Amino acid sequence: MIPSATSSPLDDVEYLARSEHRVTALDALSRRPQSRADLRTLTGVSQSTIGRTLRAFEDRRWITREGAHYEATALGTFVATGMRELIDRLETEHRLREVWEWLPSEATGFTIEMISDAVVTVAAADDPYRPVNRFLTLLREADRFRFVGFDVALLEPCKDELCGRIVEGMHTEIIAPPAVAKYIRSTAPEQFAAALESGNLVVRLHDDLPHYGVSLFDTRIAISGYDPASGSVRVLVDTDGPAAREWAESAYDAYRRELPTIALETPLA
């Protein structure tokens, strides 16, 4: 289809989006010159389809031809970059669509951009502990761990592993509601006592914590989304992005200030 003088930007978006190979081809041409054979191998479409696509790109002034090779113009590169950014945004949105309600709100300073490259682990009907297992993987690689939040559903399945890592030397600080600390102490009294006695665990109590959890590991941070209706962790989002790290550190420090710590003999009402 040759673009008419009355075509709109949305017409061009529709043209590119209607067939996946068009975005792939334009993106490849924006990176380096390509032959028709290169583009056929890359996209998996027929010679005639690639021919039509290249003619449509030329009509839009998105590419130029030199000999047997094609290359994106500045206009074509601009379009390819914009389409790739749009697709990346929509891929992030698709991963988060079903779990967004359990993550922090923008009012906390949190943004979607902070986790655009994150690992998103969502609980499934046939594997409800996927987020917990991802959390355990991160925990096993850490030398230092900090956590703030209400997620007893995240900490409880991991209490043996967590206490064991603390006794082994992982420096840990947890900010939790008294009810959560009491629950963990009552269900794992020996492990909890050993963790406190090791000197590597600090537990701080706070009555007003967010509905999500924030975990800070050595190089990554994780946000756990807890569903109070089901009593389960629905999602764990972890990233090493600097913006997300800065947000997590700030969120943690905001709850940590001037909180007392608990000892073995501290009563948890």
Average pLDDT of the segment spanning 241-249:
96
Q: For the domain made up of 98-256, give the CATH fold.
A: Endonuclease; Chain A (3.30.870)
Would you say residue 1 has pLDDT above 60?
A: no
Domain residue extents for the chain = 9-91, 98-256
Percent of the chain with pLDDT over 90: 58
CATH assignment of 9-91, given 3.40.50.280, 2.60.40.3080, 1.20.1250.20, 1.10.10.10? 1.10.10.10
- Chain mean pLDDT for the chain: 89
pLDDT tier at 71, thresholds 50, 70, 90:
very high
What's the pLDDT score for residue 183? 80
Rounded Cα distance, 129 and 131, in Å? 6
Residues paired with 202 in a beta bridge: 173
pLDDT tier at 185, thresholds 50, 70, 90:
confident
Top mean-pLDDT range of 52-56, 93-97, 156-160, 173-177: 52-56
Q: Residue 173 gets which letter from DSSP?
A: E
**In the numeric block, which tokens belong to residue 207?**
């009555």
Would you say residue 39 has pLDDT above 90?
A: yes
The amino acid sitting at 5 is A
CA distances from residue 24 to 16, 76, 98, 176 in whole angstroms, order as listed: 9, 12, 28, 48
Looking from the CA of 118 toward its CB, the CA atoms found within 13 Å total 30
Average pLDDT of the segment spanning 154-168:
87
pLDDT tier at 259, thresholds 50, 70, 90:
confident
Q: Are 35 and 52 in contact (CB under 8 A)?
A: no
Query: How wide is the angle at C-alpha 76 spanned by C-alphas 74 and 81, nearest 5°?
Result: 95
Would you say residue 218 has pLDDT above 70?
A: yes
pLDDT tier at 263, thresholds 50, 70, 90:
low
